[in-house]
Structure 1
Amino acid sequence: MTQPEQNPHTAPPHTHRAAAVIGGTHGLGHQLALRARAAGLTTVVYGRSADTVPTATGFDTRRLDLTDLDSVRTADIAMPTPAYVFWVAGAFLKKPLTDTEEAELTGLTHLLFTGPVLFLRRLLAAQEGPVHLVTIASSSSWKRRERESLYCGLKAAQATLTRNLVPELTAAHGGSRVTLINPGGLAVPDFHTGLEIDYGHMMDPGEVAGIIWDLVRRQTAPFQEVQILRSGVPGREGVPEVSFGARVPQPPQAEPIARLP
């Protein structure tokens, strides 16, 4: 099901006071932070390079290195409630598992899963009101990929953890909500370092951020899972297409073509 185009000016007003973006200094995370600030929310930007964001931008920048346990344990978590919390931070790795160095494996695991989970444990426990958690996972959590087993596995873990957090968050604060977003390829060169990619066929992160904010602001149910995939229709490459609900993981090999007897 493709979502019809919506007018962002008809979206209901924010009832939240703040937005925290874990990984808000670059790419999609930064675009989400820009829209939070434009909506008048106290916008906390967490990131390893948060100190490079100009202080005059109106963001509350806080350094957070998800690969450093001391940073995860000590980063400032104070913010007004109710709050949106965006889990966006990430990096990409395209390499067979057997060719992956131990430092690459542990670093990516800390960045994509262990670090954010430890930080979210602190952040969510400290909230005195409802939280709307928005997890940016990936279509790689269910798609068949080559030479991306570690990345896909960590994204699947992120998505599964998010789904199972729903009853815990709603039990803590009845007004809490969770949105799980699985986007396809985004035109963020810093994310695909070292790869030759035609970014003209990738989705624009600013456009995708606008779609996400519109979905989040309209959500009334405790949980919503959304796929935002790039169109494969000739002439529409890179155009975001929105559908709802989880996807069944693809088999590791392409389905064989049925032969007639």
Structure 2
Amino acid sequence: MSPPPPATPPAARPYRGAVVIGGTHGLGRALALGARERGLLTVAYGRTAASLDDTEDLLPRFLDLCDPHSVRTASVDVPRPCYVLWVAGAFLKKPLVETTEYEVEQLTRLLFTGPVLFLRRLLAGAEGPVHLITIASSSSWKRREQESLYCGLKAAQATFVRNLVPEMIAAHPENRVTLVNPGGLAVPDFHTGLALDFGAMMDPGRVAEIVWDIATAQRQAFTEVQILRSRAPGSEGTPEVSYGARAPQPPEEPAPTAAPHAPHH
């Protein structure tokens, strides 16, 4: 599927900065480094901010999305106008009945309520256009097993952002929103404890390049994009890009269609 056609609104003013919520590891780190390479003054928020070098154009800041106090008090003094990237995430594969109350609470804070509350603070102080880039997941619409909590939170993230678009356009006509649903990324720490073939998964650096290319070319108010990994022999893990939303898959595999019987002679 090709990109959506250009819309009539003018291109937004050049952005001065980038703010990456969850910018210290995995895809978030790759996106933060990509922002710096594009000449943007970049603020990278995360619990492991100390792992990034503090330079003139890359500013690590500690933020624990699971800690309400940290979400309320972390500085939102950022360069504007700016890109705001919501990337923070963690994975959980476990039946719901085996999931502890603490795990439910922490994952919900990390994937949804923490970023929403922090984003609320960032947007409240916006004095110019903001381009929100949200990294949700193909798990927001794909059929999964033992991942109900993770998938539900990713679906909530995607739905929240789609419905935030009218508010952002009302706040500033040049605001933009990009919703990205990526497939499996080669980030071993994200899939802790799982035996996966990371060689057949997507490179986060390559996916970050694709995201930045899409976002910087976007002129319409909202774009949704799927970045899924190829499973074709010889091309495993190659990113495949398509545009538009996907309908949620049913919880059960469709029944196989019986092959037609050969006619009798």
State how 1:148-227 maps to structure 2 within 5 Å: 148-227=147-226
The one-letter code of the counterpart of 1:79 is V
State how 1:49-128 maps to structure 2 within 5 Å: 49-56=48-55, 58-128=57-127
- Identify unmatched segments of 5+ residues in structure 1: 4-11
- Identify unmatched segments of 5+ residues in structure 2: 4-10
Aligned counterparts of 1:21 and 1:46: Cα–Cα separation in 2: 6
Structure 2 match to 1:7 = none
Structure 1 match to 2:134 = 135
Percent of aligned pairs with the same amino acid: 65
The one-letter code of the counterpart of 1:202 is M
Kindly indicate whether the alpha-carbon contact (under 8 Å) linking 2:71 and 2:117 is maintained by their aligned counterparts in 1.
Answer: yes
TM-score (norm 2): 0.92
Distance 1:14 1:187, change over 3 A: farther
Structure 2 match to 1:9 = none
C-alpha deviation, 1:39, in angstroms? 1.2
**Equivalent pairs, count:** 253
Kindly indicate whether the alpha-carbon contact (under 8 Å) linking 1:188 and 1:205 is maintained by their aligned counterparts in 2.
Answer: yes
Distance 1:2 1:233, change over 3 A: farther
The one-letter code of the counterpart of 1:223 is F
TM-score (norm 1): 0.94
Aligned counterparts of 1:37 and 1:77: Cα–Cα separation in 2: 19
The one-letter code of the counterpart of 1:83 is C
C-alpha deviation, 1:258, in angstroms? 2.9
Kindly indicate whether the alpha-carbon contact (under 8 Å) linking 1:14 and 1:217 is maintained by their aligned counterparts in 2.
Answer: no
Aligned counterparts of 1:118 and 1:200: Cα–Cα separation in 2: 36
Q: Deviations over 1:105-156 (max 9, x none)?
A: 1000000001000100111111101100000000000000000000000000
Distance 1:57 1:229, change over 3 A: farther
C-alpha deviation, 1:253, in angstroms? 0.2
Kindly indicate whether the alpha-carbon contact (under 8 Å) linking 2:12 and 2:175 is maintained by their aligned counterparts in 1.
Answer: no
C-alpha deviation, 1:58, in angstroms? 3.8
Query: Aligned-pair RMSD on alpha carbons?
Result: 1.6
Q: Deviations over 1:9-50 (max 9, x none)?
A: xxx998100000000001111111111111111100000111
Structure 2 match to 1:255 = 254
Higher alpha-carbon Rg: 2
State how 1:2-13 maps to structure 2 within 5 Å: none
Give the match's secondary structure for 1:43. strand
Aligned counterparts of 1:209 and 1:53: Cα–Cα separation in 2: 17
Structure 1 match to 2:7 = none
Aligned counterparts of 2:52 and 2:165: Cα–Cα separation in 1: 32
C-alpha deviation, 1:59, in angstroms? 1.2
Kindly indicate whether the alpha-carbon contact (under 8 Å) linking 2:90 and 2:111 is maintained by their aligned counterparts in 1.
Answer: yes
Kindly indicate whether the alpha-carbon contact (under 8 Å) linking 2:12 and 2:219 is maintained by their aligned counterparts in 1.
Answer: no
The one-letter code of the counterpart of 2:40 is L
Kindly indicate whether the alpha-carbon contact (under 8 Å) linking 2:176 and 2:222 is maintained by their aligned counterparts in 1.
Answer: yes
C-alpha deviation, 1:54, in angstroms? 2.3
Aligned counterparts of 2:234 and 2:38: Cα–Cα separation in 1: 33
Structure 2 match to 1:45 = 44
Q: Deviations over 1:45-83 (max 9, x none)?
A: 000111232224741111110000000000110122211
C-alpha deviation, 1:2, in angstroms? 6.5
Aligned counterparts of 1:55 and 1:257: Cα–Cα separation in 2: 56
Question: Are 1:238 and 2:241 an aligned pair?
Answer: no
Structure 1 match to 2:6 = none
